[in-house]
């Protein structure tokens, strides 16, 4: 990997921390963003002097703007912005409340929207840049009923990413927006879900966060617009829609 400046949100654990450590080994300079100060600084320490920890809650636009400003002050530019913040939920659709929907949208969609909008002027000024949004297989296959509002938020994120790409590349083809869709990842995601939930580490057919991080690092190099983290995922999506029989 060429020396690059990467902002990673949700960097205090899970996929974000694994990605930070991998990119640090490859020589990248990092702005690591999360709410949990102690955990964030521990990740930064493992990454070495190229990592700059920045405590912020990216579900608030003003704090995202501060991250952009601090990153530019520290490194002079941003090459890649990784929107990795997310939260699940454990509640079927018939029981969802307005607060449930608001929380899922704020964390899973608005945090990414703020990141894309706030870094975009810098990318346009440079004529290049790369946003990577972490989605989920549940954004394509809404198979987990208890994750209903999360599934919907990730569907929203998928569409938003595609529409951002189309809009921006009409005038700035050097700016890419990529979507990465993991399945089950063995992290604290399940335990941190709204209303609780099963520990993701106990679920079958999952991936280690390091495996997902390796895919994201590959997307930084390839700039592919839409990537799954497991072999066979594309075929599963196609088979799902074939089974719906949506054609006349």
The tally of CA atoms less than 13 A away on the side-chain side of residue 21 is 17
pLDDT given for residue 202 in this prediction: 78
Out of 52, 114, 150, 228, pick the active-site residue.
150
pLDDT given for residue 3 in this prediction: 67
pLDDT given for residue 248 in this prediction: 59
pLDDT in tens, 130-152: 999 999 999 999 989 999 999 99
150 as an active site residue: the answer is: yes
pLDDT in tens, 17-56: 999 999 999 999 999 999 999 999 999 999 999 999 999 9
- For the chain, list the domains and their CATH numbers: 5-244 (3.40.50.720)
Q: What angle (nearest 5°) sits at the alpha carbon of residue 13, between those of residues 68 and 179?
A: 60
Give the pLDDT band (50/70/90) at residue 205: confident
């Amino acid at each position: 990997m060429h020396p690059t400046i990467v902002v990673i949100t949700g960097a205090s654990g899970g996929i974000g921390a694994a990605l930070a450590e991998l990119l640090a080994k490859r020589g990248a300079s990092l702005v690591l963003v999360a709410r949990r100060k102690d955990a964030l600084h521990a990740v930064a320490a493992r990454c070495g002097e190229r990592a700059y920890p920045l405590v912020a809650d990216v579900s608030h636009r003003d704090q995202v703007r501060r991250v952009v400003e601090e990153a530019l002050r520290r490194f002079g530019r941003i090459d890649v912005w990784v929107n990795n913040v997310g939260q699940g939920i454990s509640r079927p659709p018939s029981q969802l409340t307005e607060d449930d929907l608001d929380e899922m949208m704020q964390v899973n969609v608005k945090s990414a929207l703020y990141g894309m909008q706030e870094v975009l002027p810098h990318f346009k000024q440079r004529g290049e840049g790369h946003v990577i949004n972490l989605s989920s297989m549940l954004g394509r296959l809404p198979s987990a009923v208890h994750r209903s509002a999360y599934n919907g938020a990730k569907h929203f994120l998928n569409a938003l990413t595609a529409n951002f790409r189309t809009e921006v590349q009409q005038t700035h083809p050097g700016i890419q927006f990529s979507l990465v869709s993991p399945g089950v990842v063995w992290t604290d995601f399940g335990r941190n879900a709204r209303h609780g939930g099963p520990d993701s580490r106990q679920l079958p057919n999952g991936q280690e966060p390091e495996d997902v991080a390796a895919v994201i690092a590959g997307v930084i190099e390839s700039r592919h617009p839409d990537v799954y983290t497991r072999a066979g995922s594309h075929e599963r999506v196609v088979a799902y829609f074939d089974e719906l029989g949506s054609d006349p």
